[in-house]
Amino acid sequence: MAAERTLKSRPLERMDDLVSLCARRGIVFASSEIYGGINGFWDYGPLGVEFKNNLKAAWWQAVVRERDDVEGIDSSIICHPRTWEASGHVEHFSDPMVDCRACKKRFRADQLADAGPCPAREGTSEHDLTEPRRFNLMLQTRIGASEDAAALAYLRAETCQPIFNDFRRVREVSRQQIPFGIAQIGKAFRNEINPRNFTFRSREFEQAELEFFCREGERDRWFEHWLDERLRFHRALGLGPEHLRTRPHAPEELAHYCKRAVDVEFRFPFGWQEIEGIHDRGTWDLARHSEYSGKDLGVTDPETKEHYLPTVIETSVGVDRTCLAVLCAAWAEEELEGGETRTVLRLVPALAPIKAAVLPLSKKLGEPAGRLERELRRRWNTFYDDSGNIGKRYRRQDEAGTPFCITWDFDSEADGQVTVRERDSMQQERIPAAAVGEWLAARLGPAA
Ligand code: ATP
């Protein structure tokens, strides 16, 4: 098949286009779909889980493995309930909520602009709203057989609090000195009043957080360092300058313990929204956990012998939100020469769920093509597809974000060559079948 050419490319403008691609290809779709779904909960399918794992691996590589001053952990989701008293979540982690007396819908009082008209009132489309009430966002559960208050526990509302719980032990076992950081990736739960915009605001989601402990006098330097690092990371995921900006918080927006905060925002089809926050949390968390646990979480300077509480710089990114941002930036609908259109996910190869697809031109060529695919599979996540015409098979890989296709045709056996096709340019090239591994390694890295 001759190489195709793009005449026009359209970026994502309506979330529905992405939502339907994600459902159709099983990337992300409603949880418990057979029961009608459950609001604020999402499942990642075969392609989605590979994509999300790649994104988490990229974060872990950049924040933990490539550094000798960051340690990783994987804490439990349910912590001692005192954790959430110390952190202030039991008392303060709430949103203002209002109800409409007519249509019974519930809204966040600070997001009424998005409420839309009331479907239940005559003569007016305005909602009949109650006074705002505070609504705590932490999801509760009970532990053990007892129903009493002592058994009450919370699903963690953020992944960072267990990092403070573990600070002392991790520092001891890793023999780290200040400055150093502790990082983890994991689930967080928030009983959001209005989950919406696909996975953007969910009730169960994943966070990747770093708490970096430093001396007070070095807080600004480390803040700048991590802000730069995190922006570099997002750019490497394919989020270009037209999609990315930073927004410093105004003093009145800051949590009382927070000295400085900058949001990393992405331009979604529904507007600029936060995907990550960089925060200077001061000594608040370690001071509170010291107070509530009765354990001294201070450190002693090895030279001056001064005992002090380290200052914390936090980077907190939503894994699902970043996945969504990457998908939004990668999606394109293209008009091709000859009148056809294709949907393509221009994912950077490191994030692509499938790195290469092997496509025999005919089922009769299955034996040698299968052999090649099995060989590549040892190094990368590959895919074998022998059904449908070759054009359709290319389209299926384009919308799955597969960067490379390898076609085994009727000449391959005789001349030992295959056709490799690149997703974005659709350029094709004939190379020796024996050199495919090397050709891919030059574009994908030695293995993934
Ligand atoms: P928002 O103002 O959007 O509710 P936040 O400021 O409360 O977010 P943080 O507590 O700073 O968010 O959490 C850090 C990151 O976790 C956010 O930047 C976001 O990417 C992610 N996150 C927070 N809440 C949700 C949610 N309900 N669904 C998906 N991701 C979330």
More confident residue, 188 or 148: 188
C-alpha torsion sign, points 89, 90, 96, 99:
positive
Cβ–ligand 1 distance for 162 under 6 Å, the answer: no
CA separation for the pair 408, 418 (Å, rounded): 5
The terminus-to-terminus CA distance of the chain in angstroms comes to 29
- Residue 49: what are its φ and ψ, rounded to 5°? -70, -35
How far does residue 244's CA lie from ligand 1's centre (Å)?
Answer: 17
How far does residue 322's CA lie from ligand 1's centre (Å)?
Answer: 11
Residue nearest to atom 3 of ligand 1 (CA): 274
Cβ–ligand 1 distance for 266 under 6 Å, the answer: no
C-alpha torsion sign, points 170, 175, 179, 184:
negative
Residue nearest to atom 25 of ligand 1 (CA): 201
How far does residue 74's CA lie from ligand 1's centre (Å)?
Answer: 20
Per-residue pLDDT at 256 exceeds 70: yes
Which residue of 192, 265, 316 sits with most ligand 1 atoms within 8 Å of its CB, as the best mutation to test the pocket?
A: 316
Model confidence at 447, pLDDT cuts 50, 70, 90, reads confident
By mean pLDDT, which of 35-44, 180-189, 250-259, 323-332 is the weakest?
250-259
How far does residue 318's CA lie from ligand 1's centre (Å)?
Answer: 6
Radius of gyration of the CA atoms of the chain, in A: 25
Residue nearest to atom 16 of ligand 1 (CA): 318
Quote the strand ranges of 200-340, DSSP E: 204-214, 244-248, 260-268, 271-282, 299-300, 307-308, 311-318, 331-336
pLDDT of residue 94: 86
Per-residue pLDDT at 1 exceeds 70: no
Give this prediction's pTM.
Answer: 0.93
Give the model confidence (pLDDT) of 198-250 as tens digits.
999 999 999 999 999 999 999 999 999 999 999 999 999 999 999 999 999 99
Per-residue pLDDT at 438 exceeds 90: yes
Q: Which atom of ligand 1 is nearest to the CA of 322?
A: 20
How far does residue 401's CA lie from ligand 1's centre (Å)?
Answer: 27
Give the list of residues 6+ apart from residue 395 with CB closer than 8 angstroms, or none.
342, 343
The count of C-alpha atoms lying within 13 angstroms of the C-alpha of 21, restricted to the half-sphere facing its C-beta, is 26
Give the model confidence (pLDDT) of 163-185 as tens digits.
999 999 999 999 999 999 999 99
Per-residue pLDDT at 377 exceeds 90: yes
Provide the 10 A C-beta neighbour count for residue 27. Answer: 26
Which residue of 44, 187, 205, 233 sits with most ligand 1 atoms within 8 Å of its CB, as the best mutation to test the pocket?
A: 205
Cβ–ligand 1 distance for 202 under 6 Å, the answer: yes
Give the model confidence (pLDDT) of 104-135 as tens digits.
888 889 888 888 899 998 888 899 999 998 88
Q: What is the mean pLDDT of the chain?
A: 95
pLDDT of residue 135: 86
The angle that helices 319-330 and 15-24 make with each other, rounded to 10 degrees, is 100
How far does residue 321's CA lie from ligand 1's centre (Å)?
Answer: 8
CA separation for the pair 289, 80 (Å, rounded): 12
Model confidence at 34, pLDDT cuts 50, 70, 90, reads very high
